[in-house]
Structure 1
């Protein structure tokens, strides 16, 4: 998924959006036209195009001037946030870019910086390759410097180009969010929630939160994105994912995200019901080392705790399958003598149903924080905020064992 593919009706002429803000701030087409050095008819036409594209009005027109209505205020809030991301990056390249850069040029910049190739970028955008090349050339002409280095391996974006592409992604995200806010102002349901989910969240938290959320918001689309933590974090920072759910990192991985604690979780060692250790009253670490294992990949909190179990031990597990899939673990443990190391909450439904057996090993020292990872200063829509409120484990109904 890319932001370009999720463009909203709000994401159109950037100059029109600047004129819209000028009218919001001055309550006057006359003053807005003077500030922007454009004619009053040009400002009026820009406002008409915005309202036509949104199929609604955003101003209340009175003899004293134009005043933003509820939808206009919602739009202005998101447009301001978009330009707060975009304008510093544009100004770093050239002061003129703030007034002349277009949405299509910025979309081309994002696509080329991601693809590293004009042809692939054009295909992603559904445009001809010369059109994309021309958009980049126009930006480079205004900036007075190249934005990409052409090499035999492809096209490499400059630091300033990468910064502008990131700012454009986040600005476009705000404009996509604006459409959801506008619908909310009309008491309508629109938009979607994109969640980066780590294994525990997929099997324990999310099913219950989604079920509860659907009781009051049945039409909001929900997309669950799975993958390695590094990929999910990148998607979050680009604005493609709204928030992550799973094990928190200590310290936070980078300065532009924040972590929000929900609860602590511990690990459990599990086996199939027919495993030689399944009926034992106690087991030792040395006994565990003799069996093959299914464990998470290196670099994950679970794997760090697993490896620590065998630190300074004479015997180490010799056979390991690396996977975060609960289904794979369950099926492999059911037909072999493999053992698994997994979150106790992630496995609790499988244990309750007799599909996995928790071995008698005290792992209370493996407690790890579970929570949300969000972009710093992220402004959720009403629906996103509602969903997040449901992720507090105490607010959800207890899951049945049956």
Structure 2
């Protein structure tokens, strides 16, 4: 066995340990992806595809031909697919191998760029387990939480994170009274690792799809309107054709959903688009337009009114979206200048909470028309006959720039588009 193989053996043991004790996913900061694969094996496979020869790849890497062949075989066993066609004079990737190589190349390129900026050797010495530990610590800020998320002991986590920092030329993490906080360089590295994780998740999905197997998951950031209108029906139809794929719906403030998208823990967002876009790293696709309406419970004094004006609604308290959201900005303009500081407010992004408050009180609500109509069909609330000009919003899809969906991800996106157009 070559010296390089002997040095790599402890790293492989650590990676197997992390994989064996990996927990179920606990939130948008944890995604398996690259943890499933030995980084060294990915680089070896990429070199074989690039050179078209096991012999040339072995010479280029400085390993024996059997070591190179063994690395590729291990990847094939992990994926349950043949990656290389060895029947020709030169080695050629199979269709599955070509898909996997393209994803692996994107993941490794992203990882190498960020790791090289942190330290010249880091891209070549870091293991998947070490990078996973670093990301977990950067995401949670506490070693206890990070170790629990990965199901490893705290000393193991600290050794892994310390190995990453040892190869870096500048600090990647700072210790504060509240825990660990990544530096700007550390944040960039953590994000690159997360995106590489996501890319390799997609690699596994694509190889499985080619073999008529469905594996993996699709993670969607869902804003309020999408949860009530387009997304449930789209997911229901998707599950009929892809029952084995887990669909994870994540709600929360837009800023958090955007961060999940940009870090690769969410695949796409569905909801109100922002103008201008908040980041150069995202792309937005319009699906339909919607406006806002004022709603009340079916027993509210205004429920039977033929017309409703601004003066009619100001005496009543409101359930409204939290500050900073597009809906709240429109509402604030509507009640600006109201006497005594305007109506009393309850801030909530939960449609369920709003519905129950309207049913059991004289509160009013301000929500999107399509969202309100979905509730009104069941008699849960009443849309007041009051026009709110200038409240139109564009609803659509938000994705990462350059993101390439798998076949199943593309199918779900098409279903969302189809249903949104109805």
**TM-score scaled to structure 1, two decimals?**
0.93
Q: Deviations over 1:106-139 (max 9, x none)?
A: 1111112122233332222222222222222222
- 2:8 is aligned to none
- Which deviations, in whole Å up to 9, do the C-alpha atoms of 1:226-255 show, x marking residues without a partner? 111122112112211111111111111122
The 5 Å alignment of 1:242-391 reads 242-314=267-339, 316-391=341-416
Instruction: Identify the match of residue 89 of structure 2 among 61, 64, 68.
Output: 64
Larger mean CA deviation between 244-253 and 130-139 belongs to 130-139
**Alignment of 1:186 onto 2:187:** no
Counterpart Cα distance in 2 of 1:152 and 1:342: 41
Change (3 A) 1:278 1:11: same
Counterpart secondary structure, 1:195 = strand
What secondary structure is seen at the aligned counterpart in 2 of 1:193? strand
Equivalent residue for 1:41?
Answer: 66
Contact 1:3 1:173 in 2 (8 A): no
Q: Determine whether 1:220 maps to 2:279.
A: no
Give the equivalent residue in structure 2 for 1:123: 148
Which 10-residue stretch deviates more, 204-213 or 349-358?
A: 349-358
Q: Is the 8 A contact 2:35 2:132 kept in 1?
A: no
For structure 1, list consecutive stretches of 5 or more residues without a partner in the other structure.
none
Which of 202, 223, 228 is the matching residue for 1:198?
223
Deviation at 1:258, TM superposition (A): 1.8
Q: How many residues align?
A: 397
Which whole-Å CA distance do the structure 2 matches of 1:350 and 1:160 have between them? 47
- Output the CA distance in 2 between the equivalents of 1:120 and 1:215: 37
- Which residue does the alignment assign to 1:234? 259
C-alpha contact 1:270 1:339 (8 A) present in aligned 2: yes
Q: List per-residue Cα deviations over 1:206-244 (Å, max 9, x = no partner).
A: 122122223322322111111111221121122111111
**TM-score (normalised: structure 2):** 0.89
Distance (whole Å) between structure 1 residues aligned to residue 279 and residue 354 of structure 2: 32
Measured after TM superposition, the shift of residue 48 of structure 1 is 1.8
Decide whether aligned partners of structure 1 residues 63 and 250 sit closer, same or farther in structure 2, where only a CA change above 3 A counts. Answer: closer
The superposition leaves residues 251-297 of structure 1 with CA deviations (integer Å, 9 ceiling, x where unpaired) of 11122222111111011111122222122221221121001111111
For the residues of structure 2 that align with 1:330 and 1:288, how far apart are their CA atoms?
17
Q: Distance in 2 between matches of 1:137 and 1:278?
A: 63
- Mapped partners of 1:355, 1:395: distance in 2: 23
Structure 2 unmatched ranges of 5 or more: 1-25
CA distance, structure 2, for counterparts of residue 368 and residue 30 of structure 1: 59
Match for 1:169 among 194, 201, 213? 194
Residue of 36, 46, 49 corresponding to 1:24:
49
Comparing 139-148 with 244-253, greater Cα deviation is found at 139-148
Deviation at 1:95? Answer: 2.3
Structure 2: distance between partners of 1:13 and 1:29: 18
Q: What is the match of residue 7 of structure 2?
A: none
Question: Aligned equivalents of 1:14 and 1:121: distance in 2?
Answer: 21
Farther-moved stretch of structure 1 (328-337 vs 202-211): 328-337
Structure-2 separation of matches of 1:125 and 1:140: 19
